[in-house]
Amino acid sequence: MGAHRHGPSSSASAPDPEADAARAALVREIAARGAFTDPAWRTAFAEVPRHLFVPFFYVHGIRGYERLWGEDPDPERRSRWLRGVYADGALATRLQDGELVSSSSQPSLMALMLDALDVADGHTVLEIGTGPGYNAALLAHRLGGPAVTTVDLDPAITDAARGHLTAAGYHPAVVTGDGARGCPGRAPYDRIIATCTLPSVPRAWPEQCRPGARIVAPLATGLVALQVGATAHGPRAEGHFLHTPAYFVPLRGAYPAAGPLPHLGGLPRRVAGDDLFRFLLTLSAGALDPHEALSLWEREGRPERERYGVTVDRGRQWAWLDDPRGPYTWPLAAD
């Protein structure tokens, strides 16, 4: 991997020793988890000021959501805001009718996903789900602003992200549009990363990739990493899930939403609440009866996420356990 750095194009903000110390502590915490195999990402997290991208966020309290913001005249509340910004947790950044529609992801999970993206100097990246713009800034720091395109459906989100990115000195292309359709006007891409969850892979994504590209996306409470290859009948994408669970705001737009889990009545409580079993149920998208799923899951030794994968080929896509042509496969609803 290359390690070329593309810092901000202008002075981001006045020095803030408290924020700098908090950011350094967060970077040490992420590094301790082993999320930085490419040292360029550690540099990016150390130098991109997350607090510029999250001028306020919401915490859930007894009386509903409470807003914490960086300009609060109460020093204790401002300190709570800054501690929250540089804690290793996801932050609710935009609500609509009481529902969460945008967030800033957990930094250690962002680092893991960026590392799994396996970028190199000269790569172009499409990000699906702009959020507050922090992830786009990390990508722009690593690859340079012209190499990065980020798409979000909501113009209020993209407008705010442009402002945050400009304040921090980064200038990727910020596009308002349906992320399921990608961004054909700036294709092809070497990498695609999504920061919103979805039940299957939109076919536009592999179609907008160069051969050899990589896609990292949340799917069914996991993270799948796909390699894209060229075939005589079009692009083919295939790969395994990463080991970690992942819960993101769903992709919004015309793309079909994930259906609810099937009723789990009659299953032992320890099984119905097991994260890996529920991952299998979500991934099989109702194709398996819960009792059938339980038999498979126990017979196969309660498989971890890494044993599962996804294939996208010839307008079809399916999930699988161990082998894309093996006995355990489930169709995923394509767009």
pLDDT digits (tens, 9 = 90+) for 232-289: 999 999 999 999 999 888 887 656 566 666 677 778 888 888 999 999 988 987 788 8
Contact call for residues 267 and 291 (beta carbons, < 8 A): yes
- Residue 108 Cα distances to 28, 172, 257, 290, angstroms: 11, 22, 26, 32
Q: Which domains does the chain have, with CATH numbers?
A: 17-240 (3.40.50.150), 269-331 (no CATH)
What does the block give as tokens for 24?
A: 């350094």
Q: For 290-311, what is the mean pLDDT?
A: 95
Contact call for residues 145 and 172 (beta carbons, < 8 A): yes
pLDDT value at residue 71: 93
**314, pLDDT greater than 90:** no
How many residues does the structure list for the chain?
A: 335
pLDDT value at residue 250: 81
Q: For 213-241, what is the mean pLDDT?
A: 96
**143, pLDDT greater than 90:** yes
pLDDT value at residue 97: 73
State how far the Cα of 242 lies from the Cα of 229, in Å rounded to an integer.
Answer: 20
pLDDT value at residue 319: 96
pLDDT value at residue 258: 61
**Greater model confidence, 286 or 150:** 150
Burial of 284 (0-12, 13-18, 19+ CB in 10 A): buried
**222, pLDDT greater than 90:** yes
At 115, the pLDDT band (50, 70, 90 cuts) reads very high
**149, pLDDT greater than 70:** yes
Which residues are designated catalytic?
102
The beta strand positions in the chain, using DSSP E, are 56-61, 64-69, 91-96, 99-104, 125-128, 148-152, 173-176, 189-194, 209-219, 222-231, 234-240, 308-313, 316-321, 329-331
Q: For 284-305, what is the mean pLDDT?
A: 90
Cα 205 versus chain centre, distance: 15
pLDDT tens per residue across span 16-60: 899 999 999 999 999 999 989 999 999 999 999 999 999 999 998
pLDDT value at residue 178: 95
**10, pLDDT greater than 50:** no
**Greater model confidence, 315 or 216:** 216
Q: For the whole model, what pTM was predicted?
A: 0.92
pLDDT tens per residue across span 56-113: 999 987 777 889 999 999 999 999 999 999 999 999 888 877 777 788 999 999 999 9
pLDDT value at residue 14: 62
pLDDT value at residue 257: 61
Contact call for residues 277 and 262 (beta carbons, < 8 A): no
Q: What are phi and psi of 327, to 5 degrees?
A: -75, -20
At 2, the pLDDT band (50, 70, 90 cuts) reads very low
Burial of 122 (0-12, 13-18, 19+ CB in 10 A): exposed
- Among residues 44, 217, 41, the alpha carbon closest in space to that of 128 is found at 217
pLDDT value at residue 237: 98
pLDDT tens per residue across span 184-208: 999 999 999 999 988 899 999 999 9
pLDDT value at residue 5: 60
Please report which residue ranges of the chain form alpha helices under DSSP H.
17-32, 39-47, 75-85, 107-117, 134-143, 155-168, 204-207, 269-272, 275-284, 290-299
What does the block give as tokens for 112?
A: 């893991």
